[in-house]
Amino acid sequence: MKRLVKHIVITLMCFVLLVLLKNQFGYVTSGNTYGMKPLIQNKKVDNLFLGSSIFRQGLDVDVLQQNLRGSTYILTYNGNQPYFMAEELEYLIQQGVEIERLFVDMYVYTTAATPWISDTKLFLDSDLPFKLEIVDKLSQFKDFSINDFYEMFITSNMEHISTFPISSMVASTQFKDGGNLLVTKGKTSEVLDNDDFGTREKLNDYQIEGVHKIIKLCQKNKIELYFVELPKYVKMVEDRREGCYQDLVQLYLEEIDNSNVLLVDYNDFDYSNGEYFQDHFHLSSEGKKVYSQILVNQINLFR
Amino acid sequence: MVYYLLPVKFRPSFLLLASMAFYYLIDAKFLILLLLEILISYFIAKQLKKHQSTKDKKLLLWLGVLIVLVTLAYFKYQNFFILGLQNLIDSFRLSTSTNIEQLLMPIGISYYSFKIISYLVDTYRDKTVNCSLLEYALYVSFFPQIISGPIVRADNLIRQFNNLIYRESLFINGISNIIIGLFKKIVIADRMAPYVNTIFTSYMSYPSLASILAVILYSIQLYCDFSGYSLIAIGIGQLFGIDSFKNFNFPYFSTNIKEFWARWHISLSSWLKDYVYIPLGGNRNGKLRKKINIIITFLISGIWHGTTLNFVIWGLIHGIWNAFSRAKRSVGSFNFKSILAMIVTFFGVTISWIFFRMESFSKACDMIIHMLKDFTISYSAIINTLLPFTGDNSSISYLLVLFVLVIFLLIYESRQFHGKGNSLLWIDVMLLCILFFGSVGSNFLYGQF
């Protein structure tokens, strides 16, 4: 019995040690072609695109790098929201990353939701103090269950960490400076027209707080800031229901005083072409190429 | 702790109370049914012991068995008849669909009904020990075993109720079994479940390679889920001083189908052998009758699992395979011939699980046709096969981890199979895997039967 208890105690001690190591140094196993790690290593980026999978799927890193002055990097997390983008930006600045220009994803559906950890990869890319701070801030308005904590600090990213020599290598072939290199096919307009999406009542106060924090951080650190709205499929753009996507875009624009905004000119981009979209908000590889060219022209014109 | 502080004579009462409380918590509305079945069957068993005449005893036995079977059939198979009736009514009315409310099945009824039947039959055969109502009620309702077995025989369990003392080696075995069971269930089976469910639900949307992978994973998932549950149930019993036989004895190391059924769900297989196959005549009436008896036994096993045609076909496949298998139950060492035989048996059993897993016979056939007809290996087929694991680029690491964990289990089980000691280091690693890779929340697959 003593032997069994000894074994269990030692195993649990190893477990605690591994959890601490994982949360403090897990970022070492993170990929070198995507996420925050390459940015922190390089310490400087001229054009940083900060957003969600909409940016990852909708921006062609090659087109951006060929047409924009200086270095370009796309930092994305699935479902990334303004609240977290502000935290990520602050963390990068704290880690000594110099940013010349920042382009922020204006996807308003996530801005309408209460902040939540939508992509645990953020927890892989950061150290323990950052994670604790995030949890501390979120816990002011969100209830965490033991399961949530367990997932965040223990089980999340374990597959990646335990297979990182292979999984990092595989991921490296899929990304370049945060840009997705995988070819993604579009849908037919028929399929997209049959898919549905909801409406939202209003923007979330905590997310708006995040938007203002991004503005303040950029002002304080002399970063040129632009808000970018990527193309959405025609059904979404022309939706006129109460609380529709375009209503929320207007609310967002009011919050940022309509300044430094890069909206899509739908005269230049065929938003009814299903081949350009994977779904109503994510562009296909074909759509990504066309739109990125439009965006760099817009940026260069704006500047 | 509280349990072992109690005097030994009060321990069965404590376990009975705990079992009743457990059943109340998981299925309060059917607790009365459980108690009624216990009381009626105990009364009939008492009468069986009193009567000397074979005719009276037979009558009493049939009465008891019928009560249990009718109750089981009422809850388990009524939905089957309700659906049939509903379809019949709908076919006459043509327009609107009639909704007849379907019945809920009491948790564990399939398992405790079999326990009761075995007690009645054993009493009839004068093979049971004398026991009090309390001991009998505990035997039927013992909480670790009530949801999905194992279907332990009365003789084995009731004998132990008189001597529920703390035994260190049994206690340690209990903890080890619980850890191994949890590892199998929440680390391996539950890790496979989302992928298996996705592919089995919409196999036509994925390459045939995905269906093949899902079928193999389901085979492993079912084994890990059910044997994991059995180990946890046995382990909990051992913590309370009650030992049980193994319910799974490395079935996928079987070199033929007969050996497989001697190692898979042993408590059900041996129950069916003792209370169906042997009463049917067993091997006593010639070769042809023996084969028919085997097929009938497996058909009953299929119907016990479910009422749809796919379960009947599944039972039939195993019945015919067993009846016409010439191989003897042999346990050999791992050599080329035996490994080849293991692989053939594994794949045969795995294909039969498609009928077990699919909701209808036609869908099971469609899936098999899809696997064979549309089979291609290409870059996009591989990518689309792997993607359902997580839906993004982490699918590869997910599959890699799964692969390593299955290999770890395979090495552990092959060591056990060859009688190598149960080193605590293996248990330590399993505990760490549970803590880091465990996912909690899904039900036990065999709970539905």
Could you say which residues from 149 to 168 on chain B have a Cβ atom under 8 Å away from some Cβ of chain A? 168
With contacts defined as CB-CB under 8 Å, which chain B residues touch A78? 392
> How many beta-carbon pairs below 8 A join chains A and B?
63
Task: Indicate if B305 belongs to the active site.
Answer: yes
B47 or B329, which is more confident? B47
With contacts defined as CB-CB under 8 Å, which chain B residues touch A174? 393
pLDDT tens-digit readout, B205-250: 899 999 999 999 999 999 999 999 999 999 999 999 999 999 999 9
Q: Which of A72, A80, A37 is nearest to A55 (CA)?
A: A80
Contacts with A276 (C-beta within 8 Å, 6 or more apart), sequence order:
A186, A231, A269, A270, A283, A284, A286, A287, A290, A291
> Over 80: is that where the pLDDT of B258 sits?
yes
- Taking CB atoms and an 8 Å limit, are B400 and A159 in contact across chains? yes
> Over 60: is that where the pLDDT of B98 sits?
no
CA distance A61 to chain B (A): 18
> Over 70: is that where the pLDDT of B442 sits?
no
- The predicted model gives B385-397 an average pLDDT of 80
- Taking CB atoms and an 8 Å limit, are A174 and B393 in contact across chains? yes
- Taking CB atoms and an 8 Å limit, are B398 and A159 in contact across chains? yes
ipTM surpasses 0.85: no
With contacts defined as CB-CB under 8 Å, which chain A residues touch B172? 1, 4
For chain B, what is the mean pLDDT?
89
The CA-to-CA distance between both ends of chain A, in Å, stands at: 74
CA distance B187 to chain A (A): 11
- Return phi, psi of residue B147, to 5°: -75, -50
pLDDT at residue B341, rounded to an integer? 93
- The predicted model gives B186-190 an average pLDDT of 95
With contacts defined as CB-CB under 8 Å, which chain B residues touch A159? 394, 397-398, 400-401
With contacts defined as CB-CB under 8 Å, which chain B residues touch A1? 168, 171-172
What percent of chain A lies above the pLDDT cut of 70? 100
Compute the C-alpha angle A174/A177/A181, nearest 5°: 30
Residue B427, chain A, CB below 8 Å: the answer is yes
With contacts defined as CB-CB under 8 Å, which chain A residues touch B428? 7-8, 10-11
pLDDT at residue B407, rounded to an integer? 96
* DSSP letter (8 states) at residue B285: T
Ranking A288-302, B167-181, B374-388 by mean pLDDT, the lowest is B374-388
> pTM (2 decimals)?
0.85
- The predicted model gives A196-210 an average pLDDT of 90
Chain A residue with the nearest C-alpha to that of B380: A183
> Over 70: is that where the pLDDT of A275 sits?
yes
With contacts defined as CB-CB under 8 Å, which chain A residues touch B400? 159, 163, 166-167
pLDDT at residue A303, rounded to an integer? 64
Task: Output the six-digit token pair for B27.
Answer: 């299925």
How many residues would you count in chain B?
449
pLDDT at residue A101, rounded to an integer? 96
pLDDT tens-digit readout, A141-156: 888 888 888 888 999 9
pLDDT tens-digit readout, A48-61: 999 999 999 999 99
Which pLDDT band, with edges at 50, 70 and 90, does A198 fall under? Answer: confident
Residue B444, chain A, CB below 8 Å: the answer is no
- Taking CB atoms and an 8 Å limit, are A3 and B435 in contact across chains? no
Q: Which of B240, B234, B257 is nearest to B248 (CA)?
A: B234
Side chain identity at residue B210, one-letter code: A
pLDDT at residue A171, rounded to an integer? 77
- The predicted model gives B144-170 an average pLDDT of 91
As a 3-state breakdown, chain B gives helix, strand, coil percent values, each rounded to 5, of 75, 0, 25
Chain A residue with the nearest C-alpha to that of B437: A155
> Over 80: is that where the pLDDT of A226 sits?
yes
Chain A residue with the nearest C-alpha to that of B168: A1
- Taking CB atoms and an 8 Å limit, are B432 and A14 in contact across chains? yes
pLDDT at residue B308, rounded to an integer? 83
The answer to whether the beta carbons of residues B31 and B143 sit under 8 Å apart is: no
- A240 vs A163, A172, A228, A243, A244, CA distance in Å? 48, 42, 22, 8, 6
Residue B197, chain A, CB below 8 Å: the answer is no
pLDDT at residue A234, rounded to an integer? 92
B328 or A258, which is more confident? A258
- Taking CB atoms and an 8 Å limit, are A14 and B393 in contact across chains? no
How many residues would you count in chain A?
303
Residue A18, chain B, CB below 8 Å: the answer is yes
Catalytic residue, chosen from B51, B265, B305, B370, is B305
- The predicted model gives A255-279 an average pLDDT of 88
pLDDT tens-digit readout, B403-415: 999 999 999 999 9
Establish how many alpha carbons lie within 13 A of residue B239's alpha carbon, considering only the half-sphere containing its beta carbon.
16
pLDDT at residue B192, rounded to an integer? 94
For chain A, what is the mean pLDDT?
91
- Taking CB atoms and an 8 Å limit, are B436 and A4 in contact across chains? no
Which pLDDT band, with edges at 50, 70 and 90, does A66 fall under? Answer: very high
Chain A residue with the nearest C-alpha to that of B187: A155
- Taking CB atoms and an 8 Å limit, are A154 and B436 in contact across chains? yes
- The predicted model gives B323-339 an average pLDDT of 78
